[in-house]
Amino acid sequence: MFFGKKRVKQIEEHISQQTELDQSYWANVSRQFNKNRLAVWSLRIFYVILFIALFADFIANERPIACKIDNTVSFPVFNQYGVALGISSWEDKFVTKRWDEHNYDWVIYPPIPYSATSQDKYNRNYASPFEKQRDKTGTKKWWNYHWLGTDEIGRDVMAGMVYGTRVAVLVGIIAMSIALIIGILIGSLAGYFGDTRLKMSLIRLILNPIAFFLGIFYGFTSRSYALSDGDSSEYLTSIAIFIGCLIIANILASILKHLGPLGRQITLPMDILVMRAIEVINSIPGLLLILSVVAIIERSSVIWVMVIIGLISWTGIARFIRAELLRVRSLEYIEAAQAMGFSERRIIFRHAIPNALTPVLITIAFGIASAILTEAFLSFLGIGVAAEDVTWGSLLNLARSKFQAWWLAIFPGFAIFITVTIFNLIGEGLTDALDPKLKQ
C-alpha cells in the first residue's frame, strides 16, 4: 500500500512517541522498585547467590586453582572444563594420586578445598561443625576444616551447599526459560490472532502435527538409551532432531500448498484451543504430573527435572501474554504498523510482545521460587535427581537417617527458605512497581 512521505513520517513519529512513553514508564518502574527496600536487598542477595552458582568450582573444589609441580604450572580447575567438554585430558600424575597427595612447589586452593563428592576418610560418620576434627597429622588445620560438618561418608556439607546453590539457580532459571519460551509463543498466538485471524493451509495443518510426533519419537523416544547417559550433547542432538522435523514439515508445506486443495486456507480458533489446553494442564496437579513423568525415566537427572517443571509452568505466562495482547493489538501504533504493511511476524515480535511483557516479569519471579522449591522437594524424596548429584534437597534427605546431625537439616533448609523468600519478595516488589497506575 502506498503512503505519502508526510503520512509515513507521521506514523513513524507516533511509534517513536509510544517508545518514549514506554521508556518513561520503565524509568518510573525502576524508581518505584527502589523504594521497596526489602525487594532491593532481595535482589542484592540474589546477585550473591548467582555469583556462588557461577563460580562454584572456584569456591569449593578439591582441585587447585593454580599449582606448580615438576617445574610446570597447571590450572586444574580450568582444565576440568576442557575435560568435561572432551577437548582436554588429565596428565597421568593427576589421575594416579589424590590432589592433596602431590608434592607441589606452590599451590593455590579454593577457599573450600573440597568438592561436593570428595570424601574425607578421617571425618566420616557425621562430623559436627563444633567438634574436634582430624586428618592424617592428628589435628585438622583451619584451612582444611569442615566448617559446616560432614555427612556419613565424609563429604563436606559446605561444598555441598555451594554446588546445591548452582543446581537451585539452574533449575529455577532454565525451567522458567523453557516456560517463558512456550508461554510467550502460545499466548501471543492466542491473544493476537484470537479465533478468527489465524489462517493456515490445509497441508501445513496436516504436516505440522505429524512432524511434531515424529520429532518426539526420533528425537527422544528412540534415543532414550543415549539420553540416559546424561550427556548434554545428546540432549542438544535430540532437540536438533525435533526442530529439524518441524522445519522440514514447513518447507514441504510451503512447496505443496500450491497443489490445488492442499493450499486451501483454514481458520484456526487459536484462542479457544490454547485456553482449553491451559485448563486441561491446570486441572492436573503439577506435583502428581512431575512424579508420574519422573517415574518412567530410566536414568534420573536434574536436567529432566528442569525440563518437566518448565513444560508444566508455561500456562500462567501464556494467560498473561494472551490478556495483554488482547489489549495491545487494538492500540494505535499496532494499527499504524499494520497500515504500513508490516508482516504479522514483525508486528508480533517487535511491537506487540515487547509491550506485553510487564506482567510476565512478576510470573517469572514467583515461578523461579516455585521451581526451586519443587526441585528441593523431589531431591528430598530421592526422586528425579541422580544419586551422585548433591542438592539442598538431597542434603535434607540425609538428615532423615540421623536426627542428631542437625547441620544437615538447618543449613540446607535455611538456604531454601532464604532463596524462595527473596524471589517472592522480588515478585512482590515488581507487583507494586508495575502498578498500571504508573502508566497514567
The pLDDT tens digits for 135-164 are 766 677 777 888 999 988 889 999 999 999
Q: Which residues pair with 155 in a beta bridge?
A: 119
Which three cell numbers, joined as nine digits, stand for 342?
508490516
Grouping H, G, I as helix, E, B as strand and the rest as coil, residue 21 is: helix
pLDDT value, residue 423: 93
pLDDT for residue 370 is more than 80 = yes
Q: Where are the beta strands (DSSP E) in 76-177?
A: 106-108
Quickly tell me which residue has 582436554 as its cell. Answer: 88
Cell 546431625 belongs to residue: 405
Q: What is the pLDDT of residue 230?
A: 58
Residue in the structure block whose three cell numbers are 502435527: 209
218 pLDDT higher than 80: yes
Can you list the pairs that 203-209 forms with residues at least 24 positions away whose Cβ atoms lie under 8 Å? 203/252, 203/253, 203/256, 203/257, 203/259, 203/262, 203/263, 204/249, 204/250, 204/253, 204/254, 204/257, 205/266, 205/268, 207/249, 207/250, 207/252, 207/253, 208/246, 208/249, 208/250, 208/253
Residues 194-209 have pLDDT tens digits of: 888 888 888 888 999 9
Q: Which of 182-191, 323-332, 363-372 has the lowest mean pLDDT?
A: 323-332
Q: Write the secondary structure of 154-210 as one string of H (helix), E (strand) and C (coil).
A: CEEHHHHHHHHHHHHHHHHHHHHHHHHHHHHHHHHHHHHHCCCCCEEEHHHHHHHHH
Q: Whole-angstrom distance between the N-terminal and C-terminal Cα of the chain?
A: 34
- Is the pLDDT at 131 greater than 60? The verdict is yes
User: What pTM value is reported for the model?
Assistant: 0.83
> What is the set of domains in the chain, with CATH numbers?
1-61+155-195+270-440 (1.10.3720.10), 63-109 (no CATH), 199-267 (no CATH)
